[in-house]
Structure 1
Amino acid sequence: MEDSVFSLIRTKYNTLSPTQKNVADYILSNSEKVILLSIGELAQFCDTSETTVIRFLRKLKYDSYQVFRVKIAQELSGETTDSIYEEIGTDDDIADIKRKVIQLTISSINDLNNLLDEKQLAFFTEAIVSGGKAIFIGVGSSGIIAADAYHKFLRLGIDASFSSDSHIMSIACAHARKQDLVVAFSHSGESRDILESVELAKEGGAKIAAITSYPNSSLSKSSDIVLLSSSRETKYRSDAMISRIIQLVIIDTLYVSTVLKLGSEGIKRLHKSRLAVAKKKT
């Protein structure tokens, strides 16, 4: 199935220049108007030049504004959920907030089809079953996500550790070896504690897997494997909130992929973990 143009705009958003983001914002918020506008009129409404609009289209792999406009019209006529882009406002009641937050989250999960690179998923799966240790790190809210990943892969019998403490992270990463995998969680990709730990791990030759929202971040540039989480910048709901949910979906995808990679041995390990905690349940 062909990708939604609205989903494509959202998933490419962080790669756009500030002026291109203005174009993206206008299109997402005024899609029904855009299908009636010429490229010059769109540029005028966005307070930019036609050249900027053309560069924006090229970022989305569109060579023709006409084709782009027709694609939007087709999606609107089909009333796709991806065409809904509503900002939460100060006048919204609890019903509006509930609906918009749920819709934004659903759309962001759908965006993963554009964001998640299958080759990167395969590289991660291969690295985590290679026999080395998996070191999961993250601070703040990213630490909570890293803990969830640690718990899931530990259930599969993976030799794993987890830390959200800057000192423990640095110590663990300083002892990382060539066969080990450091899985670093950071929404911004600019957390100093994470970046310092990653550099220590790289000195020992360990592989680095980053789960972050920004492809051009320092963490992404320092990593061997990069898995991107969708981000949606809204006024009253930070994109980090949505990123948290998306990263949990990424973890589940990696977990299932790893189970299949391990085959019957993976199922055996999973059953062993279930039996280990079964007696603790009443």
Structure 2
Amino acid sequence: MSVILKLKMMRENFSKMEQKIADYILNHPEEVKQLTTYQVAKICKTSQASIVRFAKKMGFSGYPDFKLSLSQDIGVRSAKKQVNIIDSEINSDDSLQEVCQKVAHENVRAIEDTYSLLDFKELEKAVKALEKAKRIMILGAGFSGVVAKDLSYKLLELGKDVVFEMDFHIQLSLLSTMGAKDILFVISYSGKTKEVYEITKKAKERGILIITLTTIAGNPIRDLGDISLNTVELNKNFRATALSPRISQMTVIDMLYVRLILENKEMEENILEAMEIVKNFKL
């Protein structure tokens, strides 16, 4: 998991002191990988215990583990800097070729960043939960609704009992029929969509297992989840709003889908049977 990317994603949800520590690390990554907790604490005017807690909040066992991952991240990023890539905004005066290059690069970067933020333990937990689920309700609105629809189709192909509805009132009705053996899979880029949050909250109250696919930064919907899957949070501009979140979400969905097929022979057979049926309707 990319330490630097995760720091950027989580920064808004840090306390003022944690933001100060994060900013120092982001601005001086090469120096930090050589410093002790005492030295970093002195520079940031805080305690060594605070530095250790910060490392643990980032998901590491301690400061040495954090430094090791930071060093590895710096190495990967240094290698990428050797490659000439287009990393500027899409502008109205760009040529068609420039627009295509930038869109292609943006999509590739979204996939790479999504992979770097993966928590494989959470991903495996999600796969196991989906395998065992009696019924799966999928929730998503706007662009996330498009991804939710794709997930529902993929799970139906695998022979799972899946429900997906865009209407808020129908969602509430469906939720009332669900129980402890069922799953609510919530897809929300921001994790702050009001209607989606309300449905998720109701599911939590009913004791339904919740899988969330949201940005890694803290958000209300993610906080309600039992299993949390991450997507990248990018700059709030045209590119990020229209392109990258969808690509990031789809990447995680495809990873789950492929893993489910590989884990279950019956699901693999369902896919092959579906492909055979569809083939008969091709010209």
Which TM-score band (shorter chain)? 0.7 to 0.9
Matching residue of 2:213: 211
CA RMSD, aligned part only? 4.0
Matching residue of 2:124: 122
1:183 deviation in Å?
0.5
Matching residue of 2:250: 248
1:279 correspondence with 2:280: yes
1:51 correspondence with 2:44: yes
Residue number among 6, 30, 35 corresponding to 1:11 in the alignment? 6
Matching residue of 2:186: 184
Amino acid at match of 2:273: K
Q: Is the 8 A contact 1:75 1:83 kept in 2?
A: no
Q: Secondary structure at 1:178's aligned position in 2? A: coil
Amino acid at match of 1:270: I
Return 5+ residue gaps in structure 1 as ranges: 37-49
Amino acid at match of 1:163: E
| TM score, norm. by length of structure 2 | 0.75
1:135 deviation in Å?
0.7
1:184 deviation in Å?
0.7
Residues paired across the two proteins, number: 261
CA distance in structure 1 between the aligned counterparts of 2:202 and 2:274, rounded to whole angstroms = 32
Please list the CA deviations of residues 105-127 of structure 1 after superposition, one character each: whole Å capped at 9, or x if unmatched: 21221122331111111111111
1:211 deviation in Å?
0.7
CA distance in structure 2 between the aligned counterparts of 1:79 and 1:129, rounded to whole angstroms = 37
Distance 1:251 1:20, change over 3 A: farther
Matching residue of 2:40: none
Amino acid at match of 2:268: I
Please list the CA deviations of residues 204-237 of structure 1 after superposition, one character each: whole Å capped at 9, or x if unmatched: 3211011111441111110101111112215442
Matching residue of 1:158: 160
CA distance in structure 2 between the aligned counterparts of 1:182 and 1:162, rounded to whole angstroms = 10
Residue number among 196, 199, 223 corresponding to 2:198 in the alignment? 196
Distance 1:232 1:81, change over 3 A: farther
Matching residue of 1:93: 94
| TM score, norm. by length of structure 1 | 0.75
Distance 1:202 1:236, change over 3 A: closer
CA distance in structure 2 between the aligned counterparts of 1:192 and 1:269, rounded to whole angstroms = 36
Q: Is the 8 A contact 2:213 2:230 kept in 1?
A: yes
Q: Secondary structure at 1:238's aligned position in 2? A: helix
Distance 1:104 1:246, change over 3 A: same
Matching residue of 1:220: 222
Distance 1:71 1:234, change over 3 A: farther
Please list the CA deviations of residues 132-183 of structure 1 after superposition, one character each: whole Å capped at 9, or x if unmatched: 1011111111111000000001000011111121111121122211000111
Distance 1:118 1:247, change over 3 A: same
Amino acid at match of 1:149: L
CA distance in structure 1 between the aligned counterparts of 2:231 and 2:147, rounded to whole angstroms = 12
Q: Secondary structure at 1:164's aligned position in 2? A: coil
Amino acid at match of 1:125: V
Q: Is the 8 A contact 2:86 2:101 kept in 1?
A: no
Q: Secondary structure at 2:228's aligned position in 1? A: strand
Distance 1:205 1:98, change over 3 A: same
